């Protein structure tokens, strides 16, 4: 069956190197936004208006620690929009999803796959029709989300990636939550072959993740409380 025409935009918020995605149904103009950021929410709202889209869902892949979500701002701009989080996130949202749920917008849909490990509430969104997956901070380009705070668990993340993401076909395009080197996308095949953390055994992966010694995210003190309240400051 021929896939419906998909409206797709990838944007970046430079301070946190966060990617935001707009997906719309070409036939009905119903649309969703994935991981909006407060500082660029007005930009995103203008793009949505310019494209004559009807924004119905604001999807967060998890409760973020490095930026404040833009769902609060976008709900003011589009009163019909509903915010979405994992049922395991511990945060506030209009709608909660679990593994296997479908997010429908017009003739398009996204499958929810729970991918915890970076946080308990991480989910990935899969478009089977367009062979793409949005992995948030679970899987990154040649990397993965950190596991040293906010319910992080390296063994859980390893299994999430191998059992929920790497089980997708090799040609699926992977759109991630962040990239700090200007890279826009990757694929399942590339990451299975080339990701320096995930080509290792589970025990080797755990050792790597437990010895990263990263600084806390700069906005964590502001971002976490706000994001637990759906982006309300």
Helices H, strands E: what count in the chain?
Answer: 6, 14
Other Cβ atoms less than 10 A from the Cβ of 130: the count is: 16
For 194, residues 6+ apart whose C-beta sits below 8 A from its C-beta are 142
Is the entire prediction scored with pTM above 0.75?
Answer: yes
For the chain, which residues make up each domain, given as ranges? 6-212
Q: Rounded to an integer, what distance in angstroms lies between the CA atom of residue 136 and that of residue 129?
A: 19
Q: What is the C-alpha separation between 176 and 75, in angstroms, rounded?
A: 24
Per-residue pLDDT tens, the chain, 233 aa: give them.
445 699 999 999 999 999 999 999 999 999 999 999 999 999 999 999 999 999 999 999 999 999 999 999 999 999 999 999 999 999 999 999 999 999 999 999 999 999 999 999 999 999 999 999 999 999 999 999 999 988 999 999 999 999 999 999 999 999 999 999 999 999 999 999 999 999 999 999 999 999 999 998 888 999 999 999 998 87
CATH superfamily of 6-212: Ribonuclease Z/Hydroxyacylglutathione hydrolase-like (3.60.15.10)
Q: What is the DSSP string of 158-213?
A: HHHIIIIITTS-TT-EEEESB-SSS---EEHHHHHHH-TTTTS-HHHHHHHHTT--
């Amino acid at each position: 069956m021929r896939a419906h025409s998909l409206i797709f935009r990838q944007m970046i918020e430079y301070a946190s190197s966060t990617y935001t995605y707009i997906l719309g149904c070409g036939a009905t103009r119903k649309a969703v936004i994935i991981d909006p950021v407060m500082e660029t929410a007005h930009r995103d709202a203008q793009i949505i208006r310019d494209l004559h889209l009807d924004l119905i869902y604001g999807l967060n892949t998890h409760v973020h620690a490095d930026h404040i979500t833009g769902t609060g701002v976008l709900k003011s701009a589009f009163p019909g929009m509903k915010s979405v989080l994992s049922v395991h996130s511990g945060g506030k949202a209009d709608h909660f999803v679990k593994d296997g749920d479908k997010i429908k917008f017009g003739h398009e849909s996204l499958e929810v796959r729970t991918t915890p490990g970076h946080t308990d509430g991480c989910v990935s969104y899969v478009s089977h029709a367009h062979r793409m997956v949005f992995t948030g901070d679970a899987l990154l380009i040649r990397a993965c989300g950190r596991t040293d705070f906010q319910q992080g668990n390296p063994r859980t993340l390893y299994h999430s990636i191998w059992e929920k993401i790497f089980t997708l076909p090799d040609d699926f395009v992977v759109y991630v939550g962040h990239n700090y080197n200007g890279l826009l996308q990757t694929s399942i095949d590339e990451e299975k072959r080339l990701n320096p953390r995930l080509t290792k055994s589970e025990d080797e992966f755990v050792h790597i993740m437990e010895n990263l010694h990263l600084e806390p995210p700069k906005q964590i003190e502001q971002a976490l409380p706000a994001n637990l309240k759906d982006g309300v400051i």
